Structure 1
């Protein structure tokens, strides 16, 4: 399986996890917690969102998107700096061993089932958004 597809699957997992954590934050809105606990919870959401950005950049780099385009989308100035930040991760994903590829790709059905359970009317009507990655190339 192509590294780009694996990165997109990993991104879908991270988005699911962020969504679940955000929903839990809503559920605890009325709970009495300390300011530190509320701030730590919000920081965790931000960290997860930043991780998703990194995974999307990784997937785009693996797909061959030019660094100039990635840099512009990130609202950054220097493509060389952005490439330097991500080049080790890109190389690692490009040389991922087969057993790790298999484990990374596992669970597509679970992600699609999660989407089906949480899909609302404005969301795209698609039954297998993650598994459909396998039919792209």
Structure 2
């Protein structure tokens, strides 16, 4: 299993968690929570969005994306700065052992089940959008 596939699985997990937290935020709309709690909840969503973006960037870079293209997609000017920001993560994910990779890939069926439960008509009609990554070579 490639580090790129593992990063894509991690991005799918981050997207799932973000979706769940966003749904909870909608559910709390009419609750009489305090200012601090509402703002803290919104900040947590922002942190999760950033984590998701980082996982997507990592997957693209591990798949061979050019740093200039990544920087442009992030609306950043200096590809070298972007590359430096992600260098440790790229090295870490590239150095995963086979056992670590298998552990990181565990639970893809749960992600597919989550997708099936939450899928709406306008979403991609895929039965196993995450597990299908494991069939890539």
Q: TM-score range by the shorter chain?
A: over 0.9
What is the CA–CA distance in structure 2 between the aligned matches of 1:100 and 1:34, rounded to whole Å?
42
What is the CA–CA distance in structure 1 between the aligned matches of 2:89 and 2:40, rounded to whole Å?
27
In the TM superposition, 1:1-137 aligns within 5 A as 1-137=1-137
- Cα drift, residue 66 of structure 1: 0.4
Number of positions where the alignment pairs a residue of Structure 1 with one of Structure 2:
137
What is the CA–CA distance in structure 2 between the aligned matches of 1:24 and 1:124, rounded to whole Å?
23
SS of residue matched to 1:76: coil
What is the CA–CA distance in structure 1 between the aligned matches of 2:65 and 2:82, rounded to whole Å?
13
TM-score by length of 2: 0.98
- Cα drift, residue 42 of structure 1: 0.2
TM-score by length of 1: 0.98
Q: Which runs of 4+ in 1 moved over 4 A?
A: none
Q: Deviation per CA, 1:15-63: give whole Å up to 9, x if none.
A: 0000000111111111110001000000000000000001111111100
What is the CA–CA distance in structure 2 between the aligned matches of 1:66 and 1:88, rounded to whole Å?
17
- Cα drift, residue 135 of structure 1: 2.2
Runs of 5+ consecutive residues of structure 2 not aligned to the other structure? none
